[in-house]
Structure 1
Amino acid sequence: MSLTSTAPRKTEAPPAGSPRRRKAKRAGTPYGFLAPAMILFAAFLAAPIFYAAYLSLRKVKVSGLGLGSKSRTEIWAGLDNYTRSLTDPEFLPSVGRVGAYGLIVVPTMLGLALMFALLLDANRTRESIGKFARISIFLPYAVPAVVASLLWGFLYLPRVSPINDIAEALGFAGPNLLSADLTLFAVANIAIWGGTGFNMIVIYTALKAVPTSLYESARIDGASEMAIAWRIKIPIVMPSLVMTFVFSLIATLQVFAEPMTLRPLANTISTTWTPLMKVYRDAFARNDIYAAAATSVIIALATFILSFGFLKLVGRRAFNQED
């Protein structure tokens, strides 16, 4: 009886044109297209977020007079920066101003956007007028927030504002829109003027996707244009309204450019008028990047909680209409 040993067989790689090779290549193609976006997301969004969260848990310990090379060392701070941010006497008033600002901006802006979208959709036969109206309403959104704030800021100034000249010509004193009582409305007006067009386009696009036969059937049944808008159009565009509300809510919590640009024109806007302005002051005026990072994390968490909570509250009811 003889024992024979057999060498293990070598597995040969599939040929270049085999179905397995083609399948593996097709499976990796989407990741190749996604790679640039994923790299940019990780480098410019995810990494700064984690770094800000890291800085919010650190602080600087000063030894001696703080003059030597090793006199300032970064140490673990725990939740001290968050405690300082939340107990800052200027933080809660800034949150209150942003809340009042949102109560003015979000309902007004979305209401105007919905109204303009319904008016444009009800007049589908005159396409030339519709195009001009859409461009006119959307055009303010193309103006950067800083430029828009400067334009409106000079319109608000009593000495150079044509609004005051018209008011004086009519025989009454013009309002000082940069006064302490009207500053909030002045800032809100800029946001409404710039954001209504974008939201209108989103809602109008959703309305254009609805077949006209649905409206014709409702008219045959005797429904008026108001009834069609209230019972058919608004429920259909509810997902778009939810989406625009979330976008507007996020923009409201992050308001910065408008009050920061108007601040040199009015002494009623402080350096901590909004939470993000407080972050800017702490980071670049006081050189306290750790407190600024903690406040930024608080703003980010508040934005996530409010957005996610609103979507959980109304999202299922709104988006189930598409099933």
Structure 2
Amino acid sequence: MSAVNRRRARAGYLFVAPFLLVFVAMLIVPLAYAGYLSLFREQLIGGTTFVGLDNYVRALGDERLLDGVLRVGKFFLIQVPLMLLLGLFFALALDSGMLWLSRFIRLGVFVPYAVPSVVAALMWGYLYGPEFGPIAQLAGTLGLPAPNLLSGDLMLGSIANIVTWEFAGYNMIILYAALRAIPSELYEAAAVDGAGAWRTAWSVKIPALRSALLMALIFSVIGSFQLFNEPQLMQRLAPNVIDSSYTPNLYAYSLAFTSQDVNYAAAVSFLLGLVIVAVSYVVQLAVNRRRTP
């Protein structure tokens, strides 16, 4: 290797070094430390003791954790398809060029994503209030019974509504950007074949969005199983409905900072990460198999 190439290689490493330092310090080191903690247990007699995989075995039989995983799995199956369909609808509507004030509509749909999830949960918690909320007041004005959107039967749907409101615009931007990247020759060929707007959307645009839809779906898998802010804040409004194990992330947080059982919390967090990886892989594998002729 010549001196010039060596200098270029060193320059490349110097440019990458800040990212690598942050990546190692903020991701690799905390993961390694959490993995280390998950192999120990704090005991009244004997102090910190190495227990190997006992914390993981305990987690696999923990009914509270399993109930939380099943709950977010149900949340994923209901909320994510609805959110992606809304994002796809808005992206196709904007790309069609038939909407008035399309920039205003695009901004209006995307703005909720810019609202912090904490603020969104507080705002919707006020709207859901069975006594003081605007929804209850409107129902009372119309002479209808006020729906208790913070009840056990409706809470998961109420949280799903908040998340959909927050992230439908984010997915719309991903899909809209993918639509803008479709070659115009495909549209011209469809027009020559006599395809109308609906036929072009179904046969040209949506098939071209498969990669973008898969990426949005994977992000949604990760976000669903990491659900934390919304239930953690709604817990204060409905403590009898949302307990400390309502979602796996909330359970791990409660174990670490309320029960002070950081070792078991680390094991729960690692298992949750494995569940996310497994579900993401299954989703990607299923989508790729459908694309294979």
TM range, smaller chain: over 0.9
Equivalent position of 1:195 in the other structure: 167
Q: Does 1:23 align with 2:12?
A: no
Q: What is the Cα deviation at residue 164 of structure 1?
A: 1.7
2:69 is aligned, of 79, 91, 95, to 95
Secondary structure of 1:283's aligned partner? helix
Runs of 4+ in 1 over 6 A off after TM superposition: none
Match of 1:291 among 261, 264, 276: 264
Q: Does 1:177 align with 2:149?
A: yes
Partners in 2 of 1:149 and 1:249 — Cα distance? 20
What is the number of equivalent residue pairs in this alignment? 292
Aligned to 1:39: 21
Distance in structure 2 (CA, Å) of the matches to 1:310 and 1:225: 30
Whether 1:152 aligns to 2:124 is yes
- 2:36 maps to 1:54: yes
The residue matched to 2:211 in structure 1 has which SS?
helix
- Listed as ranges, the matches of 1:1-323 within 5 Å are 20-63=2-45, 72-123=46-97, 129-266=101-238, 267-315=240-288
Partner of 1:68: none
- Unmatched segments (≥5 aa) in structure 2: none
- The code of the aligned residue for 2:121 comes to S
Q: CA deviation at 1:148?
A: 0.3
Cα pair 1:153 1:262 within 8 Å, conserved: yes
- SS of the counterpart of 2:41? strand
TM-score norm. by structure 1 comes to 0.86
Q: CA RMSD in A?
A: 1.8
Instruction: Point out the structure with max Rg over C-alpha.
Output: 1
- For normalisation by structure 2, the TM-score amounts to 0.95
The residue type equivalent to 2:149 in the other structure is L
Q: Percent identity?
A: 43
Q: Secondary structure at the match of 2:22?
A: helix
Structure 1: runs of 5+ lacking an equivalent: 1-18, 64-71
| One-letter amino acid of the counterpart of residue 270, structure 2 | V
User: Contact 1:158/1:164 (CA < 8 Å) preserved in 2?
Assistant: yes
**What is the letter of the counterpart of residue 129 of structure 1?**
L
Residues 242, 315 of structure 1: 8 Å contact kept: no
Change (3 A) 1:206 1:260: same
